[in-house]
Structure 1
């Protein structure tokens, strides 16, 4: 049986999802419950910010990857517009470092798309009631990282190595990275090699994949 709403009206939800079929399925699932109401749908960070101001939702249910940005990064902007709004991130895949970023930026939680729609409904209700909700598979990692007991992947990258990683993520070659950083080719190679070593990657492509999974790249 659904948990009672903490509001004297349905929980107002802004859904931010750029895939129409997914958004439609989520809307249908949420609105079958009388205590939940999707007041608006958005397909981008920019639209989400505009709609949050216009509709004043209780909960923003936001996809992590959107055409114009990262949903996790947008949490701070949403909360600046509406300090009381609760932001629940919906992700296709997640990691402890991504979930920790959600918590650190004031998000109310993260749930994986692989979970059932009934779990999503429950998460929305709990978030609206003031709880912080993280997927059970990530919760242990979140607590470890936030308490400093477990450093995140890539936490030991130097600022220069982070720059090299960002350029790798943009698809630049080692020669181009060296040029962008204003260093000799051998120095650029060394930066890239240290990035691979610190991420536990065997190739540049694997390094970018790991970095995206861990939330190190937008």
Structure 2
């Protein structure tokens, strides 16, 4: 008998949104995307952490403005529970986006973005990528670069990896460009982060620009 390939579990998503119409639209969009399933919805910052502890979602799609305060303040608790956090907001500045990154958030999108962009962002965040609105990314990198430390020495392959990270390439794209496996790519990325003293790919690019490691 042929052996069937193992099934891939869907990405479990918790929505944190207090407006019913918006939440329903988001849920419909995410549920129609292969590989995503919405496991719950929270309406406040406090309930988000309670629900995340109970449901253990892979990704939390977090509204920034909630009835009990700024959603960004909940990122640390949600990340500590093992969830990756993608923030949604009606408007944002580079300073807000930098706060999200510094708090451990994996990305920030504007609510004006097309729903298919949100679907892709959730999948990328679940896969370990960092996804920020393209219009905010340069400002985020500039602000984060103020915390860099110099002195890193990268190998030629690590420098190539860093350059691709700066171009916004995903792990899969980097592997394809370099002609190496996904695990090898992850190892290259991890060594770049360690050498630059960065906690995320986004920080690594910011630090490298400040240190003159990127053109």
Q: Is the pair's TM-score, using the shorter chain for normalization, greater than 0.5?
A: yes
* Within-5 A mapping of 1:162-201: none
The residue number in structure 2 matching 1:205 is none
- Measure the CA separation in 2 of the matches of 1:49 and 1:105: 15
Compute the RMSD of aligned alpha carbons.
1.2
Query: What stretches of structure 1 of length at least 5 have no aligned partner?
Result: 1-6, 150-218
1:47-92 Cα offsets, whole Å, 9 max, x none, are: 1011100000000000000000111111012123x1x310000000
Q: Which residue of 2 aligns with 1:131?
A: 129
Structure 2 counterpart of 1:74: 74
Conserved 8 A contact 2:78-2:84: no
Shift of 1:34: 2.7
2:88 to 81, 87, 90: 90
Q: Distance in 1 between matches of 2:33 and 2:146?
A: 39
Structure 2 partner of 1:40: 40
Counterpart position of 1:8: 8
Aligned length: 141
TM-score by length of structure 2 reads: 0.64
1:194-209 equivalence runs, <5 A:
none
The answer to whether structure 1 residue 140 and structure 2 residue 135 are counterparts is no
**Residue ranges of structure 2 left out of the alignment (5+ in a row):** 1-6, 148-215
* CA–CA separation in structure 2 for the residues paired with 1:33 and 1:107: 22
- What's the CA shift string for 1:179-200, capped at 9, x where partnerless? xxxxxxxxxxxxxxxxxxxxxx
Moved over 6 A (4+): none
Instruction: Provide the rounded CA distance (Å) in 2 between the counterparts of 1:8 and 1:55.
Output: 19
Could you tell me the TM-score, scaled by structure 1's length? 0.63
Cα deviation 1:129-178 (Å, max 9, x = unaligned): 000000000000000000029xxxxxxxxxxxxxxxxxxxxxxxxxxxxx
Q: d(CA) in 2 for partners of 1:118 and 1:79? A: 25
For 1:130 and 1:117, the matched residues in 2 are separated by 20
After superposition, residues 142-157 of structure 1 pair within 5 angstroms as 142-148=140-146
* 1:87 aligned counterpart, secondary structure: strand
Matches within 5 A, 1:23-38: 23-38=23-38
Provide the C-alpha distance between the structure 2 equivalents of 1:79 and 1:124, rounded to a whole number of angstroms. Answer: 15
3-state SS, counterpart of residue 38 of structure 2? strand
